Amino acid sequence: MENRTTIQVSDGLRRKLRILAAKRDISYQKLLSDMISVFEELDKEKTIISIPKKLADNLHSTIKGTDFKTISEYVTFIIRLILYENPEKSKEADLTNIKKKLKSLGYL
């Protein structure tokens, strides 16, 4: 038999969680399990970034058989590679893109 823990939540919160589960076409229990996984991985020094599910599924396949335990570890690694590989080029490209956007909006 599976171990279970009872958590008391308000009716309003329970309703919202059930709606979220329905939108994702998963069970209420699966939603809670997924939420627990997120919170176990999250600490004070991290934040949550949302990506499309299809991309996340592709990343799951990508990291299978590697030393990366989670998508977060992999994405963090890739972002660090991009930012630290050529920090000056990244900054210049970012500034150029920002200026283009501001100009197209009529601010420059």
pLDDT, tens only, 23-58: 989 998 888 888 888 787 777 788 888 888 899 899
- State the amino acid at position 74 in one-letter form: Y
pLDDT of residue 19: 92
Question: Does the structure show a pLDDT above 90 at 67?
Answer: yes
What mean pLDDT comes out for the span 18-26?
A: 90
Question: Does the structure show a pLDDT above 70 at 108?
Answer: no
Compute the distance between CA of residue 60 and CA of residue 33 in angstroms, rounded to an integer: 18
Confidence bin at 99 (pLDDT 50/70/90): confident
Dihedral angle, C-alpha 12, 15, 21, 24, nearest 10 °: -90
Closest CA to 15 of 31, 4, 38, 33: 31
